[in-house]
Amino acid sequence: MENIRYDLISALPEMILLGMAMLVLIADLFLKQSNRIAIYGLSQFALLMAAYVTFTTHAPGVGYAFSGTFVDDAMSDVLKLMIYFGTSLIFVYTRQYIQLRDMYRGEFYALVLFSVVGMMIMVSGQSMLTLYIGLELLSLSLYALVALDRDNARATEAAMKYFVLGALASGMLLYGMSMVYGMTGSLNISDINHALMNSPGVHSVMILGLVFIVAGLAFKLGAVPFQMWVPDVYEGSPTAMTMLISSVPKLAAFAFVIRLLVQALPTMAADWQQMLVIMAVLSIIIGNVTAIAQTNLKRMLAYSTISHIGFVLFGFMSASINGFTSALFYIASYVLMTLAGFGIILMLSRKGFEAEKLDDLKGLNQRSPWSAFLMLIVMFSMAGVPPTLGFYAKFAVLQAALQAGFLWLVVFAVLMAVIGAFYYLRVIKMMYFDEPQDQHLIQAPMDMRVVLSINAFALLVIGLMPQGLMSLCGYAIARSLN
Amino acid sequence: MLEYFFQHILSFAIWLPVAAGVAVLFTANDSKPNATRWLALIGSIASFLVTIPLYTHFNFADGGFQFQERFLWIATFNIHYHLGADGIAVPLILLTSFTTVIVVLSAWEVIEKRVAQYMASFLIMSGLMIGVFSALDAIFYYVFWEAMLIPMFLVIGIWGGPNRVYATVKFFLYTLLGSLLMLVAFIYMYHQTGSFAITDYYQMPMPLNVQVLIFLAFFAAFAVKIPMWPVHTWLPDAHVEAPTGGSVVLAAIALKLGGYSFLRFAMPIAPDAAHYLSHFMIALSLIAIVYIALVALVQKDMKKLIAYSSISHMGFVTLGFFIFNNLGLEGAIVQMVSHGFISAAMFLCVGVLYDRVHSRQIEAYGGVANTMPAFAAFAVLFAMANSGLPGTSGFVGEFMVILGAIQANFWYAFLASFTLIFGAAYTLWMVKRVFYGEVANENVAALKDLNKREFLILAILAVLVLALGIYPQPLTEMTNATVTQLLSHLAHSKLPAGL
């Protein structure tokens, strides 16, 4: 009886969100379009409730539920809170955009909430199967969201691409998992680790399984050489969906990597470390160099994401507590920057017009000095220029990699960061040095303006006082990995 | 209250101009720019006044860091909010806060579009540069060092000339590349010592090959900033395209950031490498002094000419550093301060002409002295100072460095002294072509002489150039103890025992 109770309490946030998502779907049937705001409020309330429960049931120890297939530890709680927070911002930023494009319906909110549940299960999965189910719940919701605007051919194409490649990646991941299961006889993360620790040497099937798992993870993260889908999906999806795909799911992917590589397969660290090194270096090169050639803002941000993922992998490949903490700090910073960046792009879009070309930013400083300034902060943060948050993110992963002895790779990454700075500067150049081509007034609801300003300013403020976020990441990792 | 101020005087020096800059941003209204201008002026003057006690309360006998403030900033990485200034930093801090007042004044009616953003950029930049001069924690320093690029990038890009985008992006990327290598060096030393405190790095023994790598990482950052030949190419571009204020700050202060940082980081942290590579550094300095002076001679654009002259004069600074004696080092510091005044004045003079005629080409002028006698008098004075005439501040620094160089090696001094000829040649030849002779065209004929504001700015600078030239003792007294201490530190090897 005690067990069941503990199981239920550990998974209470997931259950709440799932229930609320259902409620949103049902309530949507009975609402007129003019009352649709209630759905929005309900979804925000659902996130708030989940956050409250996650926060109040937080315990410093590591607890296993559902016969060890589900884990409730500091990392999962911190990541879940970040996911709620990010999703809540997404709801605020996207409301006007989807209203103007006839997507302001219950499906949108329900699907996003389902994807959040998927992410939460990924974050808390302690068995390879649980992790996989979470991943699929997330992915399927995202495919549907990209295709939500039925008459949009580009979006449908993007959804198709995303689905086919995503399914391929899931297949690879599952295949790798099956090999690990075959060799260790367990799906449970801790049991796999124990089985491997007790068996001397590494069997070649395990290596093969690891290759498939890493390939699957790289697909989901969007790391080179599995990055092909990223630019196309980013560009084709409605901007609101691009914002979702590019931001919070990366937090879940972080947990996914930690669970599978760090907690299940630490004995094979030397093997996956090598793979991550190659992917990190390639991601940083391809991401930064290719981004220069882009004229589409969303595509440019897609390549920028690839290079950011390369930096995150720098944290992972250090294979130390310091490295994982830095990677988490980088991802958290990245999510905050991406949300602000896409938020501004959403603000510049209006009915019948998508702000997605770099040229659409021209002269923004004259049209709206405030939004130009916010974008300026975001761009400098992405480029990693102090005193913005992005600098500490890069600093953290680079110092972890240097500690692990990758001196020349760090020097290389730094040179690539200069190339990266070039295309971020180009955005600033367009906003500040060029004349505007478009004189439309920028219209956005007050709540979005306020939240967006706070979001972008947070990059500066946390940049001046990064200790809080660093401690949070340190706490999450130190309490969950020993 | 007053006690609190004196305990946190460096913090005030940094954050007051930044706060003033932010306040100025809120007054943005291009149709009524006067409020913005006055607020910026008051802010810059207050910021300057705040730095005065750094001189009046300075302990001249102490060569270490004074006015220190220190508390933990980022515990995870043991990064401290650590400020302090020694005899090298204080003159440069004063120079910075003073130059900001001049820049605000010089922009008064000249800048008409986006006045608030312009003034705010300079105020914020001033605070950040003072931060560079007074930070004693490597990462804290680095944050200021890089953050300062942001306002400069915008200043050149928004208010600059026709080719401004190329110039400002080049400036930013060049500087960023060098700085990031320095960051790698900082992180390396952090993992060795567990600290980002500069003073810990001073004590840290390192084998020669490591020292050389670290020195080169610093070299990448600072040589670009100073700039030394052959990584100087961003400077002429940036200077030519920047608005007058941008050129003034670049020449008067930004270049000094590089020079100062050599003394603060590269040399004391890697002293053996500094000795080991000193011939290389001296060679680069001499090339800058002689070759760049020749390049200046053939320039047709006044701003470009002064930019090259700056590079040549900064060659004296690095020469003074790497001959490792008291005269050379003190001379280099005097040269930095004096060049701050002279180059600022020279760029302001070009600005005065440019505002009237909108050309920087030498051939667009001729006989300006006929229509602008007062202006010509100032310009000739500054030109004389730039070519190192005794009695002006330009002479003192160069003379000291040459004397120091003779102690080290006669041929260094021999080559360096060529600058007195070339410097006079390019400066005076420009003066001759622009100011003397018949009135060249109707633009020149229509010129109006200086207004009160311009007269005031140039007069203040003229007084300072002469004062420093005739009586440089307050400055050398201030630096003396610090320089002695630095030289004795540099004389001790940091190689680990047994090597």
Over residues B400-431, the pLDDT tens digits come to 888 888 888 888 888 888 888 888 888 888 88
* 3 state DSSP class of A105: coil
Share of chain B above pLDDT 70, in %: 99
Cβ <8 Å between B157 and A410? no
Where helices occur in B33-88 by DSSP H, the ranges are 33-56
- Range of weakest confidence among A104-108, A437-441, B168-172, B243-247: A437-441
Is residue A201 pLDDT above 80, yes or no?
no
- What is the maximum span of chain A, computed from C-alpha positions, in angstroms? 69
* B interface residues, A as partner, C-beta within 8 Å: 28, 73-77, 114, 117, 139, 142-143, 146-147, 149-150, 153-154, 157-158, 164-165, 168-169, 172-173, 176-177, 180-181, 183-184, 187-188, 190-191
A389 has pLDDT over 60: yes
CA distance linking residue B23 with residue B36, whole number of Å: 9
* Yes or no, beta carbons of A385 and B146 under 8 Å apart: yes
- The predicted pLDDT at position B354 comes to 87
A286's CB contacts (< 8 A; 6+ apart) are A224, A227, A303, A306, A307
A438 has pLDDT over 80: no
C-alpha A447, offset from chain centre: 24
Across the interface, whether the CB atoms of A399 and B187 are under 8 A apart is answered: yes
Query: 3-state class of A151 per DSSP?
Result: coil
Q: Distance of alpha carbon A122 from its chain centroid, rounded?
A: 12
Q: How far is CA B97 from CA A142, A155, B101, B252, B254, in A?
A: 55, 55, 7, 11, 13
- Report whether pLDDT(A359) > 90: no
**For residue A257, how many other CB atoms are within 10 A of its CB?**
24
Average pLDDT in the B75-95 region? 90
Position B241 pLDDT exceeds 80: yes
**Of the partner residues A395, A411, A433, the one whose CB lies closest to the CB of residue B165:** A433
CB contact under 8 A, A425 and B169: yes
pLDDT surpassing 70 at residue B177: yes
Q: Does pLDDT of A84 surpass 90?
A: yes
Q: What is the pLDDT of residues B266-287, one digit of tens each?
A: 888 988 888 899 889 999 998 9
Q: B180, A407: Cβ pair inside 8 Å?
A: no
Residue B499: is its pLDDT beyond 60? no
Band of pLDDT at residue A1, cut at 50, 70 and 90? low
CB < 8 Å & 24+ apart, contacts of A18-22? A18/A113, A18/A114, A18/A117, A20/A45, A20/A46, A20/A49, A20/A113, A21/A46, A21/A109, A21/A110, A21/A113, A21/A114, A21/A117, A22/A110
Contact B478, B58 (CB under 8 A): yes
Q: Does A174 touch chain B (CB under 8 A)?
A: no
Give the whole-number percent of chain A exceeding pLDDT 70: 99
| Confidence check on the interface: ipTM exceeds 0.95, yes or no | no
pLDDT of res. A17: 93
Closest-CA distance, B152 to chain A, in angstroms, reads 13
- In the block, which residue shows the tokens 């680095």? B142
Q: Which residues of B touch A425 (CB under 8 A)?
A: 153, 169, 172-173
Cα(B96)–Cα(B132) distance, integer angstroms: 11
Is the pLDDT confidence value at A193 over 70? yes
**A426/B168 Cα distance (integer angstroms):** 11
Please compute the mean of the pLDDT values over residues A392-421 and round it to a whole number. Answer: 90
> Amino acid identity of B194?
G
Residues of A in contact with B142 (CB under 8 A): 386
Task: Give mean pLDDT, residues A333-356.
Answer: 89
Residues of A in Cβ contact (< 8 Å) with B154 = 428, 432
How far, CA to CA in Å, does A39 sit from each of A24, A44, A88, A105, B197? 6, 9, 13, 8, 54
A417 contacts B180? CB cut-off 8 A: yes
Residue A8's pLDDT band, with cuts at 50, 70 and 90, is confident
Taking 90 as the threshold, does the pLDDT of residue A135 lie above it? yes
Radius of gyration of chain B measured on its C-alpha atoms: 22
In percent, the amount of chain B with pLDDT more than 90 equals 18
Contacts of A330 in chain B (CB under 8 A): none
Spell out which residues of chain A touch residue B168, defining contact as CB-CB under 8 Å.
429, 433
Mean pLDDT of B357-363: 83
pLDDT of residue A178: 93
Contacts of A428 in chain B (CB under 8 A): 153-154, 157
Q: Which residues of A touch B75 (CB under 8 A)?
A: 467, 471
A301 touches chain B (CB under 8 A): no
B117 to A369: CB separation less than 8 angstroms, yes or no: yes
Residues 6+ apart with CB under 8 A from A400: A314, A315, A318, A320, A322, A323, A325, A326, A327
Cross-chain residue pair B172–A425, CB shorter than 8 Å:
yes
Mean pLDDT of all residues in B363-367: 82
Render pLDDT for B62-73 as a digit per residue (tens, 0 to 9).
888 888 888 888
**pLDDT band with cut points at 50, 70 and 90 for residue A57:** confident
CA B212 to chain centre: 26
Which positions ≥6 away from B84 have C-beta within 8 Å? B10, B65, B66, B67, B68, B69, B70, B134, B136
A182-192 average pLDDT score: 90
C-alpha distances (whole Å) from B427 to each of B234, B298, B424, B460 are 22, 11, 5, 21
* DSSP-derived 3-state class of residue B68: strand
From chain B, pick out residues whose CB is under 8 angstroms from the CB of A387: 143, 147
Model confidence pLDDT, tens digit, residues A253-272: 999 999 999 998 888 888 89
Q: Report d(CA A398, CA B184) in Å as an integer.
A: 8
Across the range B211-220, mean pLDDT stands at: 91
* A261 DSSP assignment: I
Q: Region B135-153: what's the mean pLDDT?
A: 91
DSSP B376-429: HHHHHHHHHHHTT-TTSHHHHHHHHHHHHHHHH-HHHHHHHTHHHHHHHHHHHH
Give the pLDDT confidence score for residue A36 in this predicted structure.
Answer: 84
Does the beta-carbon distance from A470 to B76 stay under 8 Å? yes
What 3-state class would DSSP assign to B161?
A: coil
Per-residue pLDDT, averaged over B27-54, amounts to 85
Q: Tell me if B234 sits within 8 A of B308, measured CB to CB.
A: no
- Whether the per-residue pLDDT at A444 is higher than 90: the answer is no
- Residue range A379-397: average pLDDT? 91
pLDDT at A2: 67
Answer whether A467 touches B (CB < 8 Å): yes
- Element housing B81 (H / E): strand B79-85
**Poorest-confidence range of A120-124, B31-35, B70-74, B330-334?**
B31-35
- pLDDT band of A326, cuts 50, 70, 90: very high
pLDDT tier, A391 (very low <50, low <70, confident <90, very high otherwise): very high
**Rounded to the nearest 5°, which phi and psi values hold at A4?**
-60, -40
pLDDT at A341 over 90: yes
Residue B83's DSSP bridge partners are B69, B135
Is the Cβ–Cβ distance between A432 and B154 less than 8 Å?
A: yes
Distance between CA atoms of residues B385 and B464, nearest Å: 11
The pLDDT assigned to B498 comes to: 53
